[in-house]
Amino acid sequence: MMIILLFVLALIPYCGGSVAIAVSTTAKWSSASNSSKILAENNCTSQQESSSLTYLVDTTGSMSDDLQQLKLVNGWLLDRVHARFPCGVRQYTMVEFNDPTVGPVRVTDSKSMFGDFFNSLVASGGDDCPELAMGGLELALRRSPPNSFILVLTDASAKDNNNMTIVNNVRSLINTTKSQIFFLTTGLCSDLNDPQFLIYRELAKLSFGHVFQISLSDLGKAFNYLDFALSRPANSSVRLFSGEYSAGNHSDSFPVQSNFTSLIITTDGSIYSIRILGPGSVDVPLKNIVSEIWGSMYVVKYPGKGIWICYIYAGGPHSIRVAGFTASNISITTRCSECHANATCEETLGILQCSCKDGFIGDGFSCSDVDECAYSWSNNCSSGICKNTIGSYTCDCRPGYTKSPANTCVDINECSRPDLNNCHALAACINSIGSYSCVCPAGYFGNGFFCSVDECSAGMCGIGMDCIKSNVSFSCSDPCLYHTVLDEPWRSTTNTYLTRYNCDTDKVGWYRFVGAGGVRMPESCVPELSCDTHAPMWISGSHPLLSDGIVNRTACAHWSGNCCLWSTTVFIKACLGGYHVYKLNRTPVCHLTYCTDPSTVSDSPTCAADEVKKSINGTYQCQCKDEYKVSALSEIRPTLTCENQAVRATFQKCQLKTLNIDVQSINLKNSRCFLYKEDNTTNTISILSPLQMDRCGMQLIRNDTHVTYTNTLYLSMESGDLIIRNEELVVKLSCTYQLNMQVSLNTVLHPFVSSTNISIGGTGQFTAYMALYKDNGYLSVYEGAEVLLSSSSILYIGVFLDGVDLSQYAVVMGNCYATPSSNADDPMKYYIIQNSCPNRQDPSITVMENGASSKGRFSVQMFKFIGDHNLVYLYCQIHLCDLKSGSCAPVCSGIRSLSLGDSDYSLSVGPIKRQDHLISGTDVTRAPWILLLSALLLLANTLIV
């Protein structure tokens, strides 16, 4: 079962305020002895004060994983900060809150001691949700120096949000300390409009902080903000702009009036796109530090002075903060040669400063390689094998994965193109992460790489066919072709000399009698002691004709004066060559044998259904009936049948025979693609061409209502003569189908649909499908390898079951989310439905049906992920709910988490490509982060086949 923890982390950078704040020298937090130790250890000539760091951690029972991860991330952060800013000092504060207590508070200025604090954190108690976040926050604010970063890590909302005494104290402390508060929430107990959660947003806004709703694995990414802000002296930044919004598009402007070395833009909430214009309405390049669905961080170096504008397009409540960083007096030099070999030397406002290049960490005078592989959040290689290199890293992809443009390993959708998989033409290809599988359609057997008709398993072979073991498997075969020959002349009824006392207790299966003894069994009682045995066996009844197929007859053994003292059943079939085959059973005892009638040695031929027997020059021959007569290859007219999974072209074998063509030698170009079916009753051979675009040359033409498949068969027929004739028969086939969901599925069209097989104890297998529809009628599905949609398009997604008693089960969509890659575990996820409820941050989401029937339906407006992502993949984790055992419809009231059933299944569709249209003249390839905000003239619903 997959419950994806919604976790967010908040972090961020900022130091100092635009209001001059004196960092009180009375803020007593560092012991003199410790400070001088730091100076000595690092060869610092003076210590430099940086902003202080405070963690307010929820230690209730549900938090133990969070605390582990926090410790790991903190270690990473402080090592980096120390490497870059070795002479920086700050207070580290750890404040705990539980239920019903807040505290204790631990304070140190030693980073190693601070690391030790984590070891004493124990998560326990407080099983309810929400928790006492406000009381804890008041304590944290009181015990932290001004201008601190206060990180609140919790998986719950605040239950003391209505204690106005506490809340007002918190507000006032924020006002006076200018500390920034970042809420890193990995869960909620209420929905996003609940005052117990909204208080977080209010306090984040008040303190120039953020609320990040992250998953635990993203905690490290969120800390990138702190990495930036703590690696510099306090008071080296200014708050430039702060905005707090609900959903939609908006633009805001703010002035930049000083010489800043950089601007840091941070956002939280469900923002689809952001665009920043500098003075003169010029697009500025944003360096992307973090770009996640819960928040982002961009850096602009050396921002120009003037009016700046930001455009934002968002799906729910979100905020943006812009801080300007002034030059700091660290890593300053008089000579660039003092910079490390792997550092750059830059002149900033007349000052030379060394800074390590990307991929290296240090103060600019000393730079060491960053091992990006050591922490999951410092590389983009979650599905690959990360290898550190000096200054960078490589990500090798495992089999089944490929490099994406973003240099990450993403699953190859082997099902998207026929050349990527080896599935048999009739098989459905099912992509999975890192691999794929092939499944033969119902009524066929095989491993998916090869499928053939499974007549045996159906228990019934066609008329004239039998289930015969060939090689390892049983398959329906024609016994006329698959049998054992018995050529012993002693079987003749005229053989009355007992020489061998033969016995047929070993004869099981299909046999054909040949040779001088006769080719058929006698149809009347045979004298005892004939056929070289004691009790000879004969057939009671007549032999079948060709049109009779397989018949059963009683075989009798004559002994003791009784013509049928023993009996057994044999099956008999008349074959095209004028002979019969017998399915013999072991004789009941010894010594009994199956006899042959010597008068049948040469018999007139038995003709096929499309043939007539004619006497030519005194001997009988089989000839095609008049309606099937042909004299040239070009006259052959196959019959066309448009079937559910294939286009069938049926040839009369007799016609081929009159042209002296051996049926077995029909060849098709690319014949591996096609399936052959012989029918000996109608004496036909059919060639099935599967309904799959681009497979075996199948072409597809579609309009709004119908889809037409066309294909061409090239039959090259070589006669068995000495003269080699190599003619080709070209047959054009075309079948038109009505286009709707059901047809698409039946024909395995590769529509924009995914499926998964589900088995429920005792009820057999059935299948769940997910499809992207074109409109709110939920009838027509997009097809092809990719769909291109405009930003104004609405995505209509349906999930439904097939093949079960639909009155019994309901589909419950637990989590449905979008990612920018085909990796369902992509850390960048945009939730549309979470814990069975719609994401209320995005008002464009409508859930029409969930848990009410065998169908689930929802719609969401097309969006784009922040960053250089143009594709959207949709995933749904579903489970089935038994309607008879109560209501299945989820109650979306805001419970902490709704656990899904035992068996969850995942479905996916995508990619959906967003069509970006820029406002004017902006080159999207130069500025890929830009997104289009306003309504545009778009080609809606363009289908790329």
Ligand X SMILES: *[C@@H]1O[C@H](CO)[C@@H](O)[C@H](O)[C@H]1NC(C)=O
Identify which of residues 135 and 364 has a Cβ nearer to ligand X in the complex: 135
**Pairwise CA distance, residues 787 & 944, whole Å:** 6
Least distance to ligand X, CB of residue 146, Å? 12
* Binder of ligand X out of 246, 258, 665, 670 (CB under 6 A): 258
Amino acid code (one letter) for 936: L
* Per-position DSSP letters for 433-457, written without gaps between them: TTEEEEEPPTTEEE-SSSEEE-TTT
Cα separation values, 396 from 93, 381, 401, 820, Å: 41, 8, 9, 20
Least distance to ligand X, CB of residue 261, Å? 11
Q: Does 171 bind ligand X (CB under 6 A)?
A: yes
Please give the size of the binding site for ligand X, defined by CB under 6 A: 16
Amino acid code (one letter) for 182: F
Identify which of residues 165 and 759 has a Cβ nearer to ligand X in the complex: 165
Q: Does 24 bind ligand X (CB under 6 A)?
A: no
Q: Does 281 bind ligand X (CB under 6 A)?
A: no
Least distance to ligand X, CB of residue 786, Å? 38
User: Which among 161-169, 766-774, 852-860, 863-871 is the span making contact with ligand X, rule CB under 6 A?
Assistant: 161-169
Find out whether 267 and 274 touch, Cβ atoms under 8 Å: yes
**Pairwise CA distance, residues 741 & 348, whole Å:** 63
| Sheet of 509-513, strand order | 484-486, 509-513, 580-584, 562-574, 550-559, 535-540, 592-594
Taking residues 368 to 407 in sequence order and writing x for each that binds ligand X by CB under 6 A, - otherwise, the string is: ----------------------xx----------------
Least distance to ligand X, CB of residue 883, Å? 45
Residue with tokens 């015969």: 468
Q: Does 855 bind ligand X (CB under 6 A)?
A: no
User: Which among 163-171, 437-445, 644-652, 875-883 is the span making contact with ligand X, rule CB under 6 A?
Assistant: 163-171
Least distance to ligand X, CB of residue 434, Å? 32
Least distance to ligand X, CB of residue 160, Å? 7
Helix, strand, coil shares, percent, the chain, to 5: 15, 40, 45
Identify which of residues 101 and 650 has a Cβ nearer to ligand X in the complex: 101
Least distance to ligand X, CB of residue 408, Å? 22
The pair of structure tokens assigned to 897 is 């988490």
Q: Does 163 bind ligand X (CB under 6 A)?
A: yes
Identify which of residues 42 and 496 has a Cβ nearer to ligand X in the complex: 42
* Per-position DSSP letters for 76-137, written without gaps between them: HHHHHHHHH-TTEE--EEEEEE-SS-EEEEEEES-HHHHHHHHHT-------SSSB-HHHHH
> Which parts of 599-692 fold into alpha helices (H)?
653-658
Burial class (CB in 10 A: 0-12, 13-18, 19+), 363: buried
Q: Does 341 bind ligand X (CB under 6 A)?
A: yes
In terms of Cα–Cα distance, which of 644, 635, 639, 719 is closest to 682?
A: 639
* Binder of ligand X out of 120, 124, 175, 807 (CB under 6 A): 175
Identify which of residues 389 and 934 has a Cβ nearer to ligand X in the complex: 389
Pairing status of strand 535-540 against strand 466-470: unpaired
Q: Which helix (H) or strand (E) holds 265?
A: strand 262-278
Q: Does 75 bind ligand X (CB under 6 A)?
A: no
Q: Does 146 bind ligand X (CB under 6 A)?
A: no
Least distance to ligand X, CB of residue 323, Å? 17
Find out whether 563 and 554 touch, Cβ atoms under 8 Å: no
- Site residues for ligand X, 740-769, by CB under 6 A, read none
Identify which of residues 331 and 754 has a Cβ nearer to ligand X in the complex: 331
User: Which among 165-173, 307-315, 911-919, 926-934 is the span making contact with ligand X, rule CB under 6 A?
Assistant: 165-173
Q: Does 331 bind ligand X (CB under 6 A)?
A: no
Cα separation values, 11 from 170, 784, 793, Å: 19, 42, 34
Least distance to ligand X, CB of residue 865, Å? 31
Least distance to ligand X, CB of residue 310, Å? 23
Residues in CB range of 422: below 8 A, 6 or more apart: 438, 449
Least distance to ligand X, CB of residue 227, Å? 20
Q: How much is the CA Rg of the chain, to the nearest whole Å?
A: 40
Taking residues 33 to 62 in sequence order and writing x for each that binds ligand X by CB under 6 A, - otherwise, the string is: ---------xx-------------------
Identify which of residues 339 and 832 has a Cβ nearer to ligand X in the complex: 339
Q: 819-846: buried (b, 16+ CB within 10 Å) or exposed (e) per residue?
A: bbbbbbebbbbbbbbbbbbbbebbebbe
Taking residues 858 to 887 in sequence order and writing x for each that binds ligand X by CB under 6 A, - otherwise, the string is: ------------------------------
**Pairwise CA distance, residues 207 & 319, whole Å:** 12
Q: 69-103: buried (b, 16+ CB within 10 Å) or exposed (e) per residue?
A: bbbbbbbbbbebbbbbbbbbbbbbbbbbbbbeebe
Burial class (CB in 10 A: 0-12, 13-18, 19+), 444: buried
Q: Does 166 bind ligand X (CB under 6 A)?
A: yes
Least distance to ligand X, CB of residue 389, Å? 8
Least distance to ligand X, CB of residue 337, Å? 13
**Pairwise CA distance, residues 774 & 790, whole Å:** 13
User: Which among 164-172, 485-493, 562-570, 639-647 is the span making contact with ligand X, rule CB under 6 A?
Assistant: 164-172
* Binder of ligand X out of 349, 460, 891, 939 (CB under 6 A): 349
* Binder of ligand X out of 172, 447, 644, 742 (CB under 6 A): 172
Question: Residue 852 forms beta bridges with which residues?
Answer: none
**Pairwise CA distance, residues 70 & 67, whole Å:** 5
Identify which of residues 171 and 205 has a Cβ nearer to ligand X in the complex: 171
User: Which among 167-175, 459-467, 629-637, 673-681 is the span making contact with ligand X, rule CB under 6 A?
Assistant: 167-175
Q: Does 142 bind ligand X (CB under 6 A)?
A: no
User: Which among 169-177, 307-315, 534-542, 823-831 is the span making contact with ligand X, rule CB under 6 A?
Assistant: 169-177
Q: Does 135 bind ligand X (CB under 6 A)?
A: yes
Other Cβ atoms closer than 10 A to 566: 16
Identify which of residues 199 and 429 has a Cβ nearer to ligand X in the complex: 199
Least distance to ligand X, CB of residue 382, Å? 25
Q: Does 342 bind ligand X (CB under 6 A)?
A: yes
Identify which of residues 43 and 738 has a Cβ nearer to ligand X in the complex: 43
Residues in CB range of 908: below 8 A, 6 or more apart: 431, 754, 770, 822, 824, 873, 874, 875, 876
**Pairwise CA distance, residues 858 & 819, whole Å:** 17
Least distance to ligand X, CB of residue 31, Å? 21
Interface with ligand X (CB under 6 A): 42-43, 135, 163, 165-166, 171-172, 175, 258-259, 341-342, 349, 390-391
